[in-house]
Copies of this chain bind each other. A is one copy, B any other.
Amino acid sequence: MDDPQELLSLCKRRGFLWPAYDIYGGAAGFFDYGPLGAAMKVNIESHWRRLHVLEEGLQELVCPMIAPEPVFEASGHLDTFADMYVECTGCGETYRADHLAEGLHDNPAALKDKELGDLLRKNDVSCPACKGELTAPKRFNLMFRTSVGAGSAKVGYLRPETAQGMFVNFSQIYRFGRERLPVGAVQIGRSFRNEISPRQGLLRLREFNQMEAEVFFHPERKTWPRYGNVKAEMLSLMPNNGPPTSMSLADAVSSGTIANEALAYFMWLTQRFAVDVGVDPARMRFRQHEKDEMAHYATDCWDLEAETGYGWVELVGVADRGCYDLEAHLTHSGADLTAFERFDEPKEITKEVVRPKYDVMGKLFRGDTKALAGIVAQLPPDAVRDRDSVQVDMDGRKVEVPSTCYELAVTTEKISGDKFVPHVIEPAYGVDRILYTLLEHAYRVRDDYVTLSLKGLVAPVKVGVFPLMARDGLDDIARRLYDSLVGEGLAAYYDDSGSIGRRYARMDEVGTPCCVTVDYETKEDGQVTIRDRDSADQVRVKLDDVICAVRNMIEGRSPQSPANM
């Protein structure tokens, strides 16, 4: 698509989505979904929930959107989740400093405040709107801040991602999973980023919708029960150290292209989801993050990207984040965010220890012997090896203990399992970007006739119901048909105004997979005409078979396929 404006204008006119707060002059970075957009959003989220919660068994959580400050101190957002901005001293407009430096440097976002300021000044960059002078770049934290409670209120922030709600609840998730790994949670919901200059339609919003999963693994066993079922499937990959390629999961893991089986599995699931909802496989790829693009703690990270009128756009990020997140919260909160894995058999661990000699010690240290022996027994063997004495601290007093008071010995103990901080793999989906991409990839224009070839799964209206004429009982038959479709949970649209051609056009433009027309013959033979959106093929079907035919067409089958496919 050359110009997304054409699609955005259709979206507004037909009720998919539009910029919010129009009657108050608008508010940049905020969008409304209308009835068609909201239905698509529900359909996208339901399918994702079905794959992740029902089929993979991940636990859905619903956490608050406001979080207290310590959560983001721990996560690092308070310190590092910031962009730099400049302000026009003339008109007061604000800009992302790195956006103004595009073309002046390879990667302006990586520059420090002063470097970026120097670059802009050296190139005489002025306000794009009024040519006014710009301030030096300032750092701006992208979290919306608020205060909670009356009186001496506490600082709170709107979450910039849903992920933290799952990390802080790790112990619960682990317990509900009956203390076995891997175990995972998901969250579907709104997140907030106070973007300095929101732009590009739905791509950079201040409020946006996420679907995120956090799946926890033993650091040495990063695989997934169903990996074996899909390891021969192909992924379209753009690795950071070689040319684009198509590779099976198994090959990608064994060649080290993808870090581990679990990551490969969740990339595959991402691809499956994207294809299911209608991202065009020919305009989709996994791009691996460059080494310097990846967070320092991440082991590997791949973005599912789609090609749109805005260029290649990130729809989903799938990252192996190591133990970074849990460890950060463990350190900051002091809570025990570890997992415990019992060995099949207890293991015997042999180790060297320092063993006090009470008899020798007793003569030298008298009443201090017991306390001193306890301290000596805790010393690491290397602290005493090959030395004549060791100095220890007893209640703030330095005591020199000669080597005659202890010996090195080897002991054996049984341990029943392993306590560790799990690693996490995080697939993070942007709902709004996905929804927009589906609209773009479904958009077809031929001789000014617009069709949205949306997948039946996500189409906001599943079937149009038309009486040829709104009289002679045709309307009654059509109404009853409409009611029975709705009774089956199928979103139907009743339309009795204008020519049948115009009614088809209205439905094609919003992506309705099929339309049913009740005509005068229906009264004779009890049959109706069903028309397919993409082929415009029409077939006659008995009234009793309409529901089955519509279900077939929603799922991309021929209307007359047998019911039990």
Binding site for B on A (CB under 8 A): 15, 18, 20-24, 27-35, 37-39, 41-42, 49-50, 53-55, 59-68, 70-71, 85, 87, 92, 94, 138, 140, 144-152, 154, 156, 158, 165, 168-169, 171-172, 176, 178, 185, 189-190, 192, 194, 196, 206-207, 329, 333, 335, 337, 486, 489, 491, 497
Contact = CB atoms under 8 A, between A and B. Distances in A.
A329 B146 contact: no
Given A37-B62, A59-B35, A24 B68 contact: yes
A149 B66 contact: no
Contacts of A190: 65, 189-190
B65 A35 contact: no
B50 A207 contact: no
A138 B150 CA distance: 10
A74 to B, nearest CB: 8
Contact of A66 (B34, B154, B206, B329): B206
B54 A15 contact: no
Would you list the 3 A-B pairs with minimal beta carbon distance, nearest first?
A: A35-B59, A33-B62, A23-B335
A185 B32 CA distance: 13
A63 to B, nearest CB: 5
B92 A149 contact: no
Contact of A172 (B21, B34, B152): B34
State the number of copies, please: 2
A39 B64 CA distance: 16
A94 B148 CA distance: 12
Considering residues A41, A71, A140, A194, which has the most beta carbons from chain B within 10 angstroms of its beta carbon?
Answer: A194
A66 B207 contact: yes
22 contacts: A15-B176, A20-B64, A23-B335, A23-B337, A24-B70, A27-B68, A28-B149, A33-B61, A34-B169, A38-B60, A38-B61, A39-B60, A54-B489, A55-B486, A64-B207, A65-B190, A65-B207, A66-B144, A66-B207, A87-B152, A92-B151, A149-B196
Given A55-B486, A489-B54, A32 B196 contact: no
A33 B386 CA distance: 58
Contacts of A489: 50, 54
Contacts of A169: 32, 34
A1 B216 CA distance: 38
A34 B29 CA distance: 31
A335 B27 CA distance: 16
Nearest to A158: B146
A80 to B, nearest CB: 17
A24 B168 contact: yes
Given A146-B145, A329-B23, A486-B55, A30 B151 contact: no
Nearest to A68: B27
Given A23-B335, A24-B168, A176-B15, A64 B146 contact: no
Considering residues A29, A165, A169, A189, which has the most beta carbons from chain B within 10 angstroms of its beta carbon?
Answer: A169
B63 A20 contact: yes
A264 B335 CA distance: 53
A335 B140 CA distance: 35
Contacts of A147: 144-145
A533 to B, nearest CB: 20
Given A68-B24, A148-B194, A192-B66, A61 B87 contact: no
Considering residues A64, A71, A94, A152, which has the most beta carbons from chain B within 10 angstroms of its beta carbon?
Answer: A64
Contacts of A171: 23
